[in-house]
A and B are shown apart, each in its own frame.
Chain A
Amino acid sequence: MPTSSRRISGTVFIFDVPQTSKPMQHLKVSLPALAVIALLIAAWWMSVIATHSLIFPTPWAVVTGTWELIHNGTLWQHIAASLTRVGIGFGLAVCVAVPLGLWMGWVRGAYQTLNPIFQILRPISPIAWIPIAILWFGIGDFSPVYLIFISSVFPMVVQTTVGVHTIEKRYLRAAENFGVSRRTLFTRVVIPAVLPQIVVGMRIGLGVAWLVVVAAEMIALHSGLGYMIMDSRNAGNRYDLVVAGMIIIGLIGLSLDGLMRLLEGNRWVRWRYAH
């Protein structure tokens, strides 16, 4: 017995030895990802040099182009314009989708009446709505807002409805057993139970909204990152600015998703991820 226990503690000891600090561990984990990005940039750089391309920019040209945009202040205007449109369109979509999803999830008749039409509308690409958006709202700020709304509202409705449908029956039974009012049932059981699904829906919805705003701004406007990309191409083939715009869109999209992920750590939904 003493020998075997010593052997066990010896094993534990071996595994415990490499004690590294937290930032070092972080670096270790993200090292492969950073290496891939570095490799990609290197390959891009070399291929531009090798092909003697006059139009496609080198990474360095993108950096100087970005600097130029920062310097003359236009970058912030475009980012602010895009974010404002997403904020309004997505905000409206949340305000409509959450109550609608709760209603459809709770009331069987509402689900049976509305779900088929939503299932038909949902797979239509937001791009397909562009002509109609222009027809209805003209070429202004409202068209992209409308497109963002239409594209992010459906995933959130569906997610919220599914959330209500998947509330475990034992919780509804318990609530019924205690004979609480409808109001209490909704505020203390149904909404908290669905909240994690609503957050998932919001994450999907915001992702779609960010995809759509850029596409919508490419049509015809005077501001926004999508406009900036199209304008840079049209006004003198500034592909350094096109690529800069693309990278900035990617980074902002990543931060938006990170923000939504922060919501998942919120006290009200944390229980869902705690196992």
Chain B
Amino acid sequence: MRTKIELRNLTKSFQSDKGPLEVVENVSFSVREGEFVALVGPSGCGKTTLLNLMAGFVRPDSGTVIIDGTPQAKPNSRGILISQQGSVFPWLTVRENLMFGLNGHPPADHADIADRYVDIVGLKGFEDSFPHELSGGMLKRAELARALVVKPEILYMDEPFSALDALMSLRMRNELLRILAKERHTVILITHDVEEAIHLADRILVLSSRPTRVQATFEVPFSHPRKLTSAASQELRMSILRELGVDHDEAE
């Protein structure tokens, strides 16, 4: 498969009161087209900065992000970022939110296209609702639909389901897999939930604490639907946790 995203020696530091703060240090890896890569690492390690660098919201100090063979310059709708807090516009209805990013189509079709994606994520009947009228899980669905409706090639997801309760988070994961099976996107997922990473990703990169580097890489060889209780996936989980510095007793 073709390489979709390539990170070459990416380095980024921020100015703080105590001088420069190294956040990302010499990170290189590449992602194939249609691949689902999860980045796990300790909190505050610079995962979000790494994702912002990839999506083009933050410029690196040195190194380059190459997407489809050309250096990433500015954020664009070919790669949509779904942030942790969510960014569904509270002043627009669900339908209006989905129509927001539609530029390329004739305006008359916008509502139809939006409604199709509202249906895909299971929000039918809530097209005219405002975000404050939705539950947390429904809001995530709306966010996902708004990203998918512009047909992005890449989805950058920054702990998208971490604010949901365990049950809803699990349902959203299954939902995401169902949608991804239909529309083949390249996905970069940041998470601190190792189980979530094993459930969703083709490959898991373990990041070190700040300044972040790629510390280890794990392939997830299981086919979907995955059984997270299987011995093999439990074993993978333990090795990833060990890599993150959590010893056996703590993890149990």
Question: Contact partner of B89 among A192, A195, A270, A275, CB < 8 A?
Answer: A192
Stretch at the interface among B78-86, B116-124, B222-230: B78-86
Contact partners of A180 in chain B: CB under 8 A: 100-101, 103
A178 in the interface, Cβ–Cβ < 8 Å?
A: yes
Shortest Cβ gap from B74 to chain A (Å): 8
A173 in the interface, Cβ–Cβ < 8 Å?
A: yes
Q: Restricting to B72-115, which residues have a CB under 8 Å from any CB of A?
A: 75-77, 80-81, 83, 85-87, 89-92, 96, 100-101, 103
Question: Contact partner of A178 among B86, B101, B132, CB < 8 A?
Answer: B101
A171 in the interface, Cβ–Cβ < 8 Å?
A: yes
Question: Contact partner of B75 among A170, A171, A177, A274, CB < 8 A?
Answer: A177
CB-based contact A170/B87 at 8 Å: yes
CB-based contact A178/B92 at 8 Å: no
Q: Restricting to A17-61, which residues have a CB under 8 Å from any CB of B?
A: none
A261 in the interface, Cβ–Cβ < 8 Å?
A: no
Q: List 19 A-B contacts (CB under 8 A).
A: A173-B57, A173-B81, A173-B87, A174-B81, A176-B75, A177-B77, A177-B101, A178-B80, A178-B150, A179-B75, A179-B76, A179-B101, A180-B100, A181-B103, A188-B100, A271-B90, A271-B130, A274-B132, A275-B132
Contact partners of B103 in chain A: CB under 8 A: 179-181
Question: Contact partner of B92 among A170, A188, A274, A275, CB < 8 A?
Answer: A188
Q: Closest B-chain residue to A172, C-beta based?
A: B87
Q: Restricting to B41-89, which residues have a CB under 8 Å from any CB of A?
A: 55, 57, 75-77, 80-81, 83, 85-87, 89
A193 in the interface, Cβ–Cβ < 8 Å?
A: yes
Contact partners of B57 in chain A: CB under 8 A: 173, 176
Total residues of chain A contacting the partner, CB 8 A: 23
Question: Contact partner of A274 among B81, B86, B96, B130, CB < 8 A?
Answer: B130
Contact partners of B76 in chain A: CB under 8 A: 177, 179
Complex Cα distance, B150 from A192, in Å, reads 22
What 1/0 mask marks residues of chain B from 193 to 216 whose CB sits below 8 Å from any chain A CB?
000000000000000000000000
Q: In terms of DSSP, what is the predominant structure of the interface of chain A?
A: helix
Complex Cα distance, B130 from A274, in Å, reads 10
Contact partners of B160 in chain A: CB under 8 A: none
Q: Closest B-chain residue to A189, C-beta based?
A: B89
Contact partners of A195 in chain B: CB under 8 A: 91
Q: How many A-B residue pairs have CB under 8 A?
A: 64
Contact partners of A181 in chain B: CB under 8 A: 103
Complex Cα distance, B77 from A275, in Å, reads 31
Would A170 and B85 be within 8 Å (CB), given that A177-B55, A179-B103, A180-B103 are in contact? yes
Shortest Cβ gap from A225 to chain B (Å): 38
Residue with the highest number of chain A CB atoms closer than 10 Å, among B57, B91, B133: B91
Nearest 5 pairs of A and B residues by beta carbon: A178-B101, A274-B132, A174-B87, A192-B91, A170-B87
Complex Cα distance, B74 from A176, in Å, reads 9
Complex Cα distance, B86 from A138, in Å, reads 56
Complex Cα distance, B83 from A275, in Å, reads 21
CB-based contact A271/B131 at 8 Å: yes
A137 in the interface, Cβ–Cβ < 8 Å?
A: no
- Interface range for B: 20 to 34
Q: Closest B-chain residue to A268, C-beta based?
A: B91
CB-based contact A271/B87 at 8 Å: no
Complex Cα distance, B76 from A270, in Å, reads 31
Q: Closest B-chain residue to A275, C-beta based?
A: B132
CB-based contact A171/B101 at 8 Å: no
Complex Cα distance, B131 from A270, in Å, reads 11
Q: Closest A-chain residue to B84, C-beta based?
A: A170
Question: Contact partner of B132 among A171, A175, A192, A271, CB < 8 A?
Answer: A271
Q: Closest B-chain residue to A267, C-beta based?
A: B130
Q: Restricting to A179-222, which residues have a CB under 8 Å from any CB of B?
A: 179-181, 184, 188-189, 192-193, 195
CB-based contact A192/B83 at 8 Å: no
Shortest Cβ gap from A150 to chain B (Å): 31
Shortest Cβ gap from A70 to chain B (Å): 44
Complex Cα distance, B92 from A171, in Å, reads 12
Question: Contact partner of B77 among A173, A179, A193, A272, CB < 8 A?
Answer: A179
Contact partners of A274 in chain B: CB under 8 A: 90, 130, 132-133
Complex Cα distance, B13 from A122, in Å, reads 42
Contact partners of A188 in chain B: CB under 8 A: 89, 92, 96, 100
Shortest Cβ gap from B73 to chain A (Å): 12
Contact partners of A174 in chain B: CB under 8 A: 81, 83, 87, 89
Complex Cα distance, B83 from A177, in Å, reads 12
Shortest Cβ gap from B158 to chain A (Å): 11
CB-based contact A170/B83 at 8 Å: yes
Contact partners of B131 in chain A: CB under 8 A: 271
Q: Restricting to B230-251, which residues have a CB under 8 Å from any CB of A?
A: none
What 1/0 mask marks residues of chain B from 121 to 143 whose CB sits below 8 Å from any chain A CB?
00000000011110000000000
